Chain A
Amino acid sequence: MSAERAALPSPLKSYALSTLTVGVILIAWESAARAKLVPDLFLPSVSAVLVALRGGIADGSLPLDLGVSLYRAFAGLLLAAVVGVAAGIAMARSALTRWFLDPFISLAFPAPKIAFLPIFILWFGIDHMSKILLVAFSSVFPIVIATYSAAIAVNHLLIWSSLSLGSSRPTIMWRVILPACYPRIFAAFRVALPVALITAFTAEMVAGGGGMGATLMYAQRFFETPTVFAYIVTMLAVGLIFDKAMLVLRDRFPAWRESS
């Protein structure tokens, strides 16, 4: 029975095996490409991808595209955070707001927001604005739902205590309710960040207008496969780095961690 062995893997051994796997895949990929087992057009060698990556960084096109995409993703995310937290708290504090917003949130939460892209283009043009607003629309729902469920669960003793100590309503809002919601809001941010990135990239792939996604599609149309790979690798790295950064942030600010 492998239960005991599965429970006690040697960390060093499994780390070595992981590194070995990545190495084997990269070597197999490189040699398959070098041996022309598949045409360059379909699978360029690892070294060709690295050359394309370095070229893109050297001539400034890759950092520029990345900057445009990240600007759209984070502007949208910021907007979603402001609107989402405000709406979540309003829903927790007022039954009327909850009654009014609930059916829209229930309906829109599972909807594939990218389908609204042509509508956003129609209303806000094909430049930054439509993409930023689509990112905000995609990432606002997890934030609203998390803020609402955190704010509704704030311990009433805390609110009553600060009321009896003479705090005003704004003070209670900013000093009691909002801090109590931080961990859930932060957890929702970890969900919303990849959604924001994927929406920004996809909107650019579909509608153009610069950024990572637009250049990726452009490279694919002209069969510049090493560039396609270089951009995918960059997107992958960006996703990983931001997720790690969120974890580091959470560890730096213990108030943002969910206590369970």
Chain B
Amino acid sequence: MAQSIVKVIINAIIRLLPIAIVLGIWQSVASLHWVDTAFLPAPVGIGRALGDLLSGHEIRDNLGVTLFRALAGLALAAVSGVWFGVGMARSWIFNAIASPLVGATYSLPKTAIVPLLILWFGIGSTMGILAVYLTCLLPIIVQTYHGVRATPAVVIWSAQSMGASARQILWQIFMPHALPDIFTGLRIALGFAFVVAISAEMIASTAGIGRLIFMYGENGSYDYMFAAVASIVIAAFLADRALLALSARCLRWHPSHAGTNLGATA
């Protein structure tokens, strides 16, 4: 037991060593003044700025606003997107009505609708959440649709012949079968959620980490700007890992999911 913990720690150190090496080179380059520290602040300075920002309200509040917008939009999109996808997969009439809309907007660069949403709803959380919602909706709809459509007919027939109701088939056949695809859609949507939330804040906002990063950039406080960028990178990484852990938990029963670790390349 103790030995395995030591092993885990050693493995973690070996994995993170490259980051430490790069930070070390970066720090020495900055300390030796080979580059202008105005353009490339030293890691120690950025760390100090990050500590400073985390102990105050600046990053916490703005990061909170961004996370709230991204996650609220994602949650709304998850709830409605799954039903939309199931509807498209189960009813050809609904599919015929919805598919041109989904097909046309799927490849639209989603931030393009931000100016329109600003026009309609002004700047603020409503606009941000709506932009995230509309962006996240599509991958979830498409993945749910594919998951439900791919359900083997034999399984549905078996359930029907054993007298399962439509509701039981929905919850016990279609939903579990589509669950891995729904999680794939959620993971794509999570990435979009952060990009769109931050883009919307950079384009026009009074709060949020996107605005904060830009504000520091314009004021020339670059160590704070780097610290704010670092905070959102870490937040996005943790959110992605949390979603992976959740999907691994929910898909424990699924044969394809034994020991997969998406995103980690080694």
Contact = CB atoms under 8 A, between A and B. Distances in A.
B99 A235 contact: no
Nearest to A102: B266
Interface string B94-116: 01110111011101111111111
B111 A202 contact: yes
Contacts, number: 185
Given A9-B96, A112-B195, A228 B119 contact: yes
Interface in B209-266: 209-210, 213-214, 216-217, 222, 225-226, 229, 232-233, 236-237, 239-240, 263-266
Given A2-B91, A3-B156, A17-B93, A110 B107 contact: no
B191 interface: yes
A102 B120 contact: no
Residues of B contacting A: mostly: helix
Contacts of A113: 195
22 contacts: A13-B92, A13-B96, A17-B96, A18-B99, A21-B97, A41-B119, A102-B265, A104-B18, A110-B236, A110-B240, A115-B229, A118-B229, A122-B222, A197-B109, A202-B195, A216-B115, A219-B115, A228-B115, A231-B112, A232-B108, A235-B108, A235-B112
Interface stretch (A93-101, A156-164, A179-187): A93-101
A114 B107 contact: no
A42 to B, nearest CB: 6
B160 interface: yes
- Chain A interface extent, by class: 35 or more
Interface stretch (A27-35, A59-67, A236-244, A252-260): A236-244
Interface in A174-229: 194, 197-198, 201-202, 205-206, 213, 216-217, 219-220, 223, 225, 228-229
Interface in A67-124: 91, 98-119, 121-123
B194 interface: yes
A3 B108 contact: no
Interface of A: 1-3, 5-7, 9, 13-15, 17-19, 21-22, 25, 41-42, 91, 98-119, 121-123, 144-145, 148-149, 194, 197-198, 201-202, 205-206, 213, 216-217, 219-220, 223, 225, 228-229, 231-232, 235-236, 239-240, 242-243
